[in-house]
Structure 1
Amino acid sequence: MSPDTKDGATIRVMTKEDYAKVKAFMKDDFYLWEPLCQFSGESVQQQNEEKNDEFHLSMIAQGTCLVAIDENNGGRLVGFVLAGAQFPEDIEQHRVEAEAMEQHTWGRTYRLLSKIEREANIFERFGISKALYSHITSVAKSMRGKGLGSRLAATLMEVGRSKGFPAMVAFCTSFFAARQKEALGMQCIHSLTYADYKDAQGRPIFTPIAPHTMARAMAIRL
């Protein structure tokens, strides 16, 4: 993929050398704004950190992750996408991993995403044997509202097509993330309302602020 530059921001494929900056960016720009983490009061990035790093680096090695660089500001990182291949057998593996996780915010989030992943079942629904999974997309606060997130998602679709993926899927916990992907042609194939996702005592496990009322599985054929 050739680098794509617009309004001073260049999007290119992420390398493992980028990961230290991406990880620092996630701490300051992703976890503080992601609806399920935002008011948790926990250091979510430190939860399951070693395995998350391993997972992220495995996706980077596939050449399916992207970074956005601000060419007008010393090459500052202003956005990224972590994405990678997903296969039918991963659904059960993720369920097992989710059930074994601790009762912290990341563990609860992973269990929620695993439930949505099983119920959406893009492989059976689309009749495919692999998909490009858009795991995390984040844009710097200073760059929001300028179309960079949409550019990252659209570029990822191009990467997916070039690598022979028949579809792309994303699990959106944010209303704005889902709306952005819908504008690019992705469809909601499954949703789960936070108010209906409860613990053993009947209490909602997540209570993010409006308009974040549900998590959605968004997908598109490539």
Structure 2
Amino acid sequence: MDAKFNSIVKSEKKENSYSIIPISTNEKPDVAEFLRKFFFCDEPLNVAIKLLEEKESTQKLEDYCIDYLRYGLTLMAVSQSGDIMGVILNNIMRREDCKINGNENGDETENCSKFKDIVVLLDKIKGEANLFTRYPNVNRVMEIKIVAVNEVYRGQGVCKALVDKTKELALKMECQMIYVECTSHFSAKAVERLGFQCIYSLAYQDYKNGQGEVVFSTHLPHTCAKVLVLPLLVERKSTDHLPTLFKDFNKNRKYLLFKDSTLNYSGKMEVSSKYLFNVEPITQSDRQEVISFLRKFFYRDEPLIIALNIMDDVEAMSKFEDYCNKLLNEELSLKAVNPNGDIIGVILNGIKCKLIKNDDDIEDNTKFQEIKSLLRKIDQEANVFGLYPNVCRLIEIDIVSVDFAYRGRGVCQALFEKTKDLAIKQKCSMIYVECSSYFSAKAAEKLGYHCIYTMFYKDYVNNKGEEIFKPPSPHNYSKVYVSPI
């Protein structure tokens, strides 16, 4: 990669044809190297506090940037020879997520003092800009986190192309606005030229520590941080007129998504189109593909897995996958697939009966046993059959996972709706779900599920009185929800 980038730096400035393409996880090393060369060294806040001199903060900054690749919303400009010319890292910001207190990195910045200084400033800026109070009708926003362009290609429209494609992506994701925090004078000027409006500004000389000292003494012309927004017009259409699709369910419906086009850029923005996705039963032939999907989109997000670092424990992960395979054996699980046949979401279900005890909990010495023990305790204390003595048979949602790029687009709701249809066919009188994630709990509430039990992780301790699960914020508890049928 060094030779590749050096050849770019030495080339003469001239017009270049290029493509804007999504960044895949395979390109993490190349993107990280690009950011080191063309973002970390130029960013005014990094320069002001000499962040790159602190190894822990530098690594944390790199991890922070690369982590956004997993959401599938990041793009890069690539020359005909395959060189990266620029990157843009994006994320979806939702009203309900911004009600959560605390910074997005939690306590992880404690040993990275310089990076923590930046995080605290950005939290203050986001809080005082107060986007969702300013725009009470806006609920979903595309946030541009980082834009960086190779210095050789600056002033040649690369930044504009990246923002244009982000706008197109935002429309497909049904975002009502694009939001960006600009810590650089030049980045603020660039987005202002693209029609963004400034809604907040903070002069660096006014941002001081407890001793009254200016925290960020940035170089001119970088005198302030700005928040700029670009409102979007999002068209929503009813799907009631669409033809039926599912023969195996009582309620037949197709589901509408925005098409995720190739995002190739040739100077013209493509017109976004729409298509339907299907919800289908998971078959035995799907098993390996489903497990691969879970590895990519569920294991890395699940709060209990993160809390125990189970991803680093091969034996524990093997036990967890055995558990998932057992659920698939019940043939009650569903998948959402796009027209290309790609899985974009899964829901793994099982039957729970009042008079049949679940005896599959064979003790083992792995970390996964800790999760099973917690779930068993939650199940016992929730006591669903005690609360609802007339319920004898219910369908239990064990796992729900949606591809990062499709979250917030109705996939989870469709999977829940089809599970309800399935529950009716299976003569179940209730749907039951244990939510270990803050976000899955919120999703269940939005769908009308009723909470019957809550356990705070801080209250679940071992024999020494130590907390067993310390998942990252906002995952502070596990909840049990039900929906009578």
Please report the TM-score for the alignment, with normalisation by the length of structure 1. Answer: 0.87
Aligned partner of 2:87 in structure 1 is: 80
Which of 148, 169, 186 is the aligned partner of 1:176? 186
Q: 1:140 to 1:192 in 2, by over 3 A?
A: same
Contact 2:48–2:216 under 8 Å retained in 1: no
Query: Can you list the C-alpha shifts for 1:125-152, whole angstroms capped at 9, x where unaligned?
Result: 1222221110010001111111211211
Q: In the alignment, which of 137, 141, 145 is matched to residue 155 of structure 2? A: 145
Other structure's SS at 2:229 match: strand
Deviation of the 1:97 alpha carbon: 3.8
Aligned to 1:192, which of 186, 199, 202? 202
Identify which range, 174-183 or 46-55, moves more after superposition: 46-55
* Whole-angstrom CA distance in 1 between matches of 2:102 and 2:153: 33
Q: Supply the distance in 1 between the matched residues of 2:184 and 2:84 (Cα, whole angstroms).
A: 22
CA distance in 1, matches of 2:156, 2:209: 39
Alpha-carbon shift at residue 56 of structure 1 (Å): 3.7
| Counterpart position of 2:229 | 219
Report the secondary structure of 1:30's partner residue. helix
Partners in 2 of 1:195 and 1:135 — Cα distance? 23
1:1-47 C-alpha deviation (Å, 9 max, x unpaired):
xxxxx832211111111221111111111010001112533326752
Q: Which runs of 5+ in 2 are unaligned?
A: 1-14, 233-485
Note if contact 2:32-2:66 (Cα within 8 Å) is conserved in structure 1: no
Partner Cα distance (2:66, 2:130) in 1:
22
Higher relative contact order (CA 8 A, sep 6+): 1
> For 1:191 and 1:155, how far apart are their aligned partners in 2?
26
1:47 is paired with a residue whose SS is: helix
In structure 1, runs of 5+ residues without a counterpart are: 1-5
Q: What SS does the corresponding residue of 2:45 show, helix, strand or coil?
A: coil
How far is the alpha carbon of 1:99 from its aligned partner? 7.3
Which amino acid counterpart does residue 75 of structure 1 have in structure 2? G
Bigger radius of gyration: 2
| 3-state DSSP of counterpart to 1:138 | strand
- Deviation at residue 211 of structure 1 after TM alignment: 0.9
Segment of structure 1 superposing worse, 30-39 or 195-204: 30-39
1:40-189 matched pairs, under 5 angstroms: 40-43=49-52, 46-47=56-57, 49=59, 53=63, 56-57=66-67, 59-71=68-80, 74-88=81-95, 89-90=97-98, 92-95=100-103, 97=105, 101-102=109-110, 104-127=113-136, 128-189=138-199
Q: Is the 8 A contact 1:27 1:45 kept in 2?
A: no
One-letter code aligned to 2:28: Y
Match in the other structure for 2:300: none
Q: 1:34 to 1:48 in 2, by over 3 A?
A: closer
Determine the C-alpha separation between the residues in 2 that align with 1:31 and 1:137. Answer: 11
Say if 1:191 and 1:215, in contact at 8 Å, map to a contact too: yes
Counterpart Cα distance in 1 of 2:177 and 2:134:
11
> Kindly tell me: are residues 54 and 202 of structure 1, through their superposed partners in 2, closer, same or farther at Cα, counting changes over 3 Å?
closer
Deviations 1:57-115 (CA, angstroms, capped at 9, x unpaired): 4x3343311011111xx311111011011123246445374677346322111111110
Asked if the contact 1:95/1:115 (under 8 Å) is kept, the reply is: no
Q: 1:94 to 1:19 in 2, by over 3 A?
A: farther
Quick one: distance in 1 between partners of 2:191 and 2:66?
22
- Distance across 1 between alignment mates of 2:34 and 2:146: 12
Q: Aligned-pair RMSD on alpha carbons?
A: 2.3
Any conservation in 2 of the 1:66–1:81 contact (CA below 8 Å)? yes
The sequence identity of aligned pairs, in percent, is 26
User: 1:30 aligns to what?
Assistant: 39
SS of corresponding position for 2:222: coil
Against the structure 1 CA distance between its residues 191 and 26, is the aligned structure 2 distance closer, same or farther, given a 3 Å change threshold?
A: same
Distance 1:163 1:177 in 2: 24
Q: Which residue of 2 aligns with 1:8?
A: 17
Going from structure 1 to structure 2, the CA distance change for 1:138 and 1:94 (only over 3 Å counts) comes to farther
Report the residue type matching 1:217 in the other structure.
V
Tell me, in whole angstroms, the C-alpha distance in 2 between the residues paired with 1:202 and 1:70: 47
Which residue identity does 2:94 align to in structure 1? F
Do the aligned partners of 1:123 and 1:130 also contact (CA within 8 Å) in 2?
A: no
